[in-house]
Amino acid sequence: MALPALALGWLLVASAPAVKYKASARVESVIRTPLLTETSASQVVTDLMIVPRLEGVLYTNLLEVKFSYEPQFLIRQSFMKPSLEILQSVYTRADYKIRRDFTLIGVHTTTFGAFPLENYAGVGTIGLPVTPVGATRTDSAYVYTETAAGFWTSLGIKRLSVAGTIGWVVNGLLEGPVRPLRRGSAAYPQQRYPELRLQAFYGATRRDYFTLSLYGRDVEFSTGNHNSLLQFAPGIQHQFTPLVDLSVEAGVAAGRVYHRSPDELPTHLAMPTLEATLKTPVPLGNHWPVQAKVRARYLPYMDPLTTKLIPRADVGLDLEWKGRREAKVLGKLRYAHPITGGVHRGDTELRAEAEALWPLPFSRYVYAQGKGVYTWTKHVVIGSQPAVQWYTSVGLVVRYDRGRL
């Protein structure tokens, strides 16, 4: 009896799919300025953030399933008037290989949280209350969910990759419809829309590649507004060296804005689009360990407050350094400005970010982490004066990997 049982147990273990998982936890102490939606007696506020995370991968010869779950516990104003904000994020992805050059893809992600609003009423006359004026609710639920299905194939052509997805997205507060309020007191409306993405990549030579992208969505806002957008952009990428490459995409975009009032005719938008990206190492001393990415874009932008569809240009610079044992230092700088003569002509956004992750000595699993974010925002809804915000955080990250490959 022992021998058949042992053989059966070996067969079950051998036929079971391989599994790999990673567990981590992060504790951060955050110092920041008050939010636009937050009243505070102090110009500097202290928060505490606790974030456990679990990731897993299950895979066979034909199927690979990825899963992650991350609850986030954020204690706002932890030393003044504490309020607990909880966000829960779930991500799943499944790749099933039909044949050697054709794979089906399924993706689902959800972020859900409840926000205590007793301390959130706007700052003077330039706030952005998340509930309409006069509302008596003391909490609110927010959700971002996306479900998509797609494919990847080479169509039997060497050096060709084609991938596409079609999905459904819901983003915003789970409340009744909110109406645009007077200037200086707007609310973020909820968005619901289907989204289409299609990309093709063909290697013409060892250094030259042709790309093609198609993007579209049809957005319904809880305010009654309705926007449609479709972008089409062919492009080319040239690799100067294994570490330096340049890509340029030039295309067209067409959009249509359906206004809430029935007596207003739809507004049309047609514009060229351009996106250029340069990736190159930055020489420091005798080595080039820092990778830089410079990007410039001119694309249509759907403003989340006014729901208007406007052309906007932005430039960005990303710097990344990676060392041993997953050590890294990141830096990002971004500037955006609408190219329009409407109400958004004076809007400006500047954002700078820095992050460092460093493994502690005498430990394989513990890392020190530091972050910093600075934003300078001028928006027609916020008011005539720009809003300046920043936050910094320091914390510890514990990671543990286990599984068989």
Mean pLDDT for the chain?
84
pLDDT at 40: 63
The tens digit of pLDDT for each residue in 201-254 reads 999 998 999 999 999 999 998 878 889 999 999 999 999 988 899 999 999 999
Q: Are 246 and 252 in contact (CB under 8 A)?
A: no
| pLDDT surpassing 90 at residue 70 | yes
Query: Using 50, 70 and 90 to split pLDDT, how confident is the model at 179?
Result: very low
The pair phi, psi for residue 325, each rounded to 5°, is 55, 40
Structure confidence by residue, pLDDT tens digits, 314-333: 999 999 998 888 889 999 99
Q: What is the pLDDT of residue 128?
A: 39
Q: Using CA atoms, how far apart are residues 254 and 238, in angstroms rounded to an integer?
A: 28
Cβ neighbors of 176 (< 8 A, separation 6 or more) are: none
* Range name among 45-49, 61-65, 341-345 with the lowest pLDDT average: 341-345
- 264-273: per-residue pLDDT in tens? 788 899 999 9
Give residue-wise pLDDT tens across range 138-150.
456 778 999 999 9
Q: What's the pLDDT tens digit per position in 289-298?
A: 899 999 999 9
Show Cβ contacts of residue 306 under 8 Å, excluding neighbours closer than 6 positions: 180, 186, 343, 344, 380, 381
152/103 Cα distance (integer angstroms):
5
H helix or E strand, kind and range, residue 10: helix 2-15
pLDDT level of residue 7 (50, 70, 90 thresholds):
low
pLDDT over 90 at 351, yes or no: yes
pLDDT band for 67, please (50, 70, 90 cuts).
very high
Query: Which ranges in 107-206 belong to alpha helices (H)?
Result: none
212: exposed, middle or buried (Cβ count in 10 Å: 0-12, 13-18, 19+): middle
Residue with tokens 């932890």: 78
Share of the chain above pLDDT 90, in %: 52
Which tens digit of pLDDT belongs to each residue from 186-199? 456 788 999 999 99
